[in-house]
């Protein structure tokens, strides 16, 4: 009888233990999912942060670096807004997902709904998700961040200079619609006070963290600045030693400090990974309203080092050792696969290009970059350069070279220049000033072969190649009569702009440059 009782009771006992054990296991598993914060600056230079040798006061970012890890050789795959953001959020080269350059207002393309973003990966693991700040991957209602995995969206749909009224110009609202401040699909304000944007973004980010404290959350805080035109709030304007640009950077640093403070106050310090980087290098043509790259060559809009090498700092208390510096090559495309691993989710079913760099973040000794090479695209899907180990190879292409910088918000001047096939040793020549193409023919041959394979996969308009791995962007359409009205507005604005001048240059100078450009 006792045996019979044991036999009868045993299955129930096992079931009871399993039921007791299961919630505990699930809770433990949930506890292992870290909160994730990505802070993304706009046009911040490689040398704009104190820990990277910058002259701006950035105590909070410097604190992040001292309490975590900073990378010296961290890259974006394309040196312009939309292309860079597409790469960050999809873990893919922008050429793979069909996003080039900077999308204009009322664009009929955007990030395809078939692409998987970081937010969509994390939502599968029950993360609360928010984008606060700049989107710039399509402003059509269907291409809203809410359709790409973000529960909450507060910010601008594109760059802050794509606005209705530029200072001292005649363009009024015909070239661009009024700049909208969005909350999800609703326009909260038109032409908002830009001096308050950083503060409002920060307050919204803190509120999101507060209300998401009891579940894992993903916050993508994409600052509008230091993209031009620059604005700082009253608390920061005129306070730095580096003019208005320094004021703007100081306010972004303050924002970082408020995020850190909120996370610490809520006891989430050991549960939260915080990443900081920039979408590309500084817009140097704007002179004292642009950032710095130290000795790096080039600027935003070029694939020289200043255009594509960006600061990258990661902090996670008691998980990432303090004060680490990594000189391994990594890029923004690596963030999605790294966070996917952290969240315990499967990789997207579509092909991506990023690699898991979690072991690099943890500072494990002897761990090398997972990339064989990195590739840099610009223009209309032009493969312009690549990095392999310490070598940087530029292919022949045309680029803009700044010949005169502007002052106080005025744009300077550039001219077009051309590269040959050029090879640089970045360990010995970070300035990319000594072309050693003739000294290392075997290196060049190896890199050209890797580039040939990449062209077959992702295409290269410089060689009229369409890649087998390219995917189309999303196509979003407006009614024909709306498009006709907008085109009429733009045409009218261009006529007025050409004949009556602007705050940049008078009409006769622009006419001379247009004629001269025909002979380039």
Say what the pLDDT of residue 12 is.
47
Q: Read off the pLDDT band of 20 (50, 70, 90).
A: very low
Q: At what angle do helices 243-265 and 59-66 cross, to 10 degrees?
A: 50
Q: Give me the chain's average pLDDT, please.
A: 90
pLDDT in tens, 161-215: 998 755 434 444 556 788 999 999 999 999 999 999 999 999 999 999 999 999 9
Q: Which residues form the catalytic set?
A: 81, 136
Q: What is the mean pLDDT of residues 477-496?
A: 67
Q: Read off the pLDDT band of 122 (50, 70, 90).
A: very high
pLDDT in tens, 312-357: 999 999 999 999 999 999 999 999 999 999 999 999 989 999 999 9
Residue from 219, 148, 152, 230 nearest 197 by CA: 230
Q: Assign 321 to helix, strand or coil.
A: coil
Q: Is residue 290 predicted with pLDDT exceeding 90?
A: yes
Say what the pLDDT of residue 517 is.
58
Q: Which helix (H) or strand (E) holds 27?
A: helix 2-32
More confident residue, 34 or 516: 34
Say what the pLDDT of residue 509 is.
59
Q: At what angle do helices 243-265 and 197-211 cross, to 10 degrees?
A: 10
Question: What Rg value do the Cα atoms of the chain yield, rounded?
Answer: 25
Residue 27, class by beta-carbon neighbours within 10 Å (0-12 exposed, 13-18 middle, 19+ buried)? exposed
How many angstroms separate the Cα of 382 from the Cα of each of 203, 298, 446?
40, 17, 20
Residue from 204, 251, 205, 209 nearest 230 by CA: 251
Q: Which of the residue ranges 4-18, 228-242, 374-388 would you say has the lowest mean pLDDT?
A: 4-18
Contacts of 352 (CB under 8 A, 6+ apart): 90, 91, 92, 96, 333, 336, 337
pLDDT in tens, 413-467: 999 999 999 999 999 999 999 999 999 999 999 999 999 999 999 999 999 999 9
Instruction: Report the alpha-carbon angle 222-473-281, nearest 5.
Output: 40
According to DSSP, the residues that pair with 435 across neighbouring strands are: none
How many angstroms separate the Cα of 520 from the Cα of each of 311, 415, 485?
36, 10, 34
Cα-Cα-Cα-Cα dihedral of 60, 61, 63, 64, to 10°?
A: 120
Q: Is residue 66 predicted with pLDDT exceeding 70?
A: yes
Q: Is residue 15 predicted with pLDDT exceeding 50?
A: no
Q: Is residue 307 predicted with pLDDT exceeding 80?
A: yes
Say what the pLDDT of residue 21 is.
43
């Amino acid at each position: 009888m006792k045996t019979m009782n044991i036999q009868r009771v045993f299955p129930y006992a096992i079931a009871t233990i399993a039921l007791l054990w299961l919630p505990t296991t699930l809770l433990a598993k949930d506890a292992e999912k870290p909160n994730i914060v990505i802070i993304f600056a706009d046009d911040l230079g490689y040398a704009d942060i104190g820990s990277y040798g910058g002259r701006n006061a950035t105590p909070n970012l410097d604190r992040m670096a001292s309490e975590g890890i900073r990378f010296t050789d961290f890259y974006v795959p394309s040196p312009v807004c939309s292309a860079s953001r597409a790469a960050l959020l999809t873990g893919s080269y922008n050429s793979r997902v069909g996003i080039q350059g900077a999308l204009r207002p009322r664009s009929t393309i955007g990030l395809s709904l078939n692409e998987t973003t970081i937010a969509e990966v994390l939502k599968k693991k029950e993360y609360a998700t928010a984008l606060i700040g700049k989107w710039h991957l399509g402003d059509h209602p269907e291409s809203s961040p809410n359709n790409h995995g973000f529960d909450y969206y507060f910010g601008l749909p594109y760059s802050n200079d794509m606005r209705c009224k530029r200072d001292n110009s005649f363009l009024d609202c015909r070239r661009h619609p009024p700049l909208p401040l969005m909350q999800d699909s609703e326009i909260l304000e038109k032409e908002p006070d830009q001096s308050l944007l950083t503060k409002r973004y920060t307050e919204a980010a803190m509120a999101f963290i507060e209300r998401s404290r009891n579940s894992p959350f993903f916050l993508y805080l994409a600052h509008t600045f230091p993209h031009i035109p620059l604005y700082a709030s009253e608390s920061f304007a005129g306070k730095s030693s580096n003019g208005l640009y320094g004021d703007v950077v100081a306010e972004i640093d303050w924002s970082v400090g408020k995020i850190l403070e909120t996370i610490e106050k809520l006891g989430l310090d050991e549960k939260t990974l915080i990443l900081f980087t920039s979408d590309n290098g500084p817009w140097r043509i704007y002179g004292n309203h642009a950032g710095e790259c130290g000795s790096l060559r080039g600027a935003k809009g070029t694939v020289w080092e200043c255009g594509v090498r960006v600061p990258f700092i990661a902090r996670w208390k008691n998980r990432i050792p303090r004060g680490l510096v990594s000189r391994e090559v990594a890029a923004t495309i690596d963030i999605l696969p790294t966070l996917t691993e952290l969240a315990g989710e499967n990789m997207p079913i579509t092909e991506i290009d990023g690699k898991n760099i979690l072991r690099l973040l943890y500072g494990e000794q002897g761990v090398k970059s997972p990339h064989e090479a990195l590739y840099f695209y610009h223009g209309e899907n032009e493969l312009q350069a690549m990095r392999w180990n310490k070598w940087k190879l530029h292919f022949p292409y045309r680029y803009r070279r700044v010949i005169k910088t502007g002052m106080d918000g005025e744009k300077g001047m550039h001219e077009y220049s051309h590269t040959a096939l050029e090879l640089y040793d970045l360990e010995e020549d970070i300035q990319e000033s000594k072309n050693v193409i003739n000294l290392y023919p075997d290196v060049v041959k190896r890199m050209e072969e890797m580039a040939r394979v990449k062209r077959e996969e992702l295409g290269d308009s410089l060689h009229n190649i369409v890649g087998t791995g390219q995917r189309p962007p999303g196509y979003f359409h407006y009614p024909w009569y709306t498009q006709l009205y907008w085109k009429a507005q733009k045409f009218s604005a261009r006529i007025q702009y050409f004949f009556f001048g602007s705050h940049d240059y008078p009409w006769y100078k622009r006419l001379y440059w247009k004629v001269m450009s025909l002979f380039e």
